[in-house]
Amino acid sequence: MFELGVVRRNIVRADRVAVDQLAKFGASTVHEALGRVGLMKTYMRPIYAGARVSGTAVTVLLQPGDNWMLHVVAEQIQPGDIVVAACTTDNTDGFFGDLLATSFRARGAVGLVIDGGCRDVRDLTEMGFPVWSRAISSKGTVKATLGSVNIPVVCAGMAVNPGDAIVADDDGVVVVPAGIARKVADAAAAREANESEKRAQLAAGVLGLDMYKMREPLEKAGLRYID
């Protein structure tokens, strides 16, 4: 893990149909379907509101202040991929802007998740190219030191393997291991079906206390009502 100077060309991507379904459920539902794991740190924010995408991860490990490997990863992108960029240390420099976005899109990428900075946000917003980043920064980068492409990385506190499914929206970024993407998509669908029914009841004034039958366990736990 974390070997530097390596580009893996052949990776096994999560099932395309399953990955495509994840976007419609969104990050929070998928996170629950995964058993409440898989969420990146909450400092990862979209550069504009409203985007919701899912895709397969091509990963890249960057060095601080150096975006050389983003050019290397571009060649490994296939349609439907999301680039997931980690860095060997905390760094907010503007690794990515509208030129790289143009290139990534031309290769078929549907978005970028970067544990670093992003710039040209006005252009990216106009292009509709979604980015989740830890910062927005004009700070330029050099092209001097090797990182790696398509190795396992830790991005914003979450382990990501090449080919994993990624789902990202206003709520954050969730990583689904490639091998269980189908199962998670099914669980998310089941969960969502279930939610419509609950929503209707709650809207009608039914309390969660009753709908989820919480009164007895709360009382057992010692909850006391006083006037």
| Shortest CB 16 distance to a copy of itself, Å | 21
Residues 90-119 touching a copy of itself, rule: CB under 8 A, are 90-94, 97-100, 102-103, 105-107, 117, 119
Q: Are 147 and 88 in contact (CB under 8 A)?
A: yes
From 12, 128, 140, 190, residue interacting with a copy of itself (rule: CB under 8 A): 140
| Shortest CB 5 distance to a copy of itself, Å | 5
- Residue 75 interacting with a copy of itself (CB under 8 A): yes
Residue closer to a copy of itself, measured from CB, 48 or 186 = 48
- Residue 2 interacting with a copy of itself (CB under 8 A): yes
Instruction: At 127, give phi and psi (nearest 5°).
Output: -70, -20
Q: Which residues contact 218 (CB under 8 A, 6 or more apart)?
A: 209
Residue closer to a copy of itself, measured from CB, 17 or 219 = 219
* Cα 36 → chain centroid: 14
| Shortest CB 20 distance to a copy of itself, Å | 19
Report the distance separating Cα 85 and Cα 133, nearest Å: 9
Report the distance separating Cα 17 and Cα 62, nearest Å: 30
- Residue 191 interacting with a copy of itself (CB under 8 A): no
Q: How many residues does the chain have?
A: 227
- Residue 32 interacting with a copy of itself (CB under 8 A): yes
- Residue 78 interacting with a copy of itself (CB under 8 A): no
Report the distance separating Cα 82 and Cα 19, nearest Å: 11
Q: Which residues contact 73 (CB under 8 A, 6 or more apart)?
A: 58, 59, 60, 83, 85, 149, 150
Residues 40-59 touching a copy of itself, rule: CB under 8 A, are 41-42, 45, 48-50, 52
Residue closer to a copy of itself, measured from CB, 189 or 214 = 214
From 14, 112, 158, 188, residue interacting with a copy of itself (rule: CB under 8 A): 158
From 18, 55, 84, 169, residue interacting with a copy of itself (rule: CB under 8 A): 169
Q: Which residues contact 34 (CB under 8 A, 6 or more apart)?
A: 174, 176, 184, 187
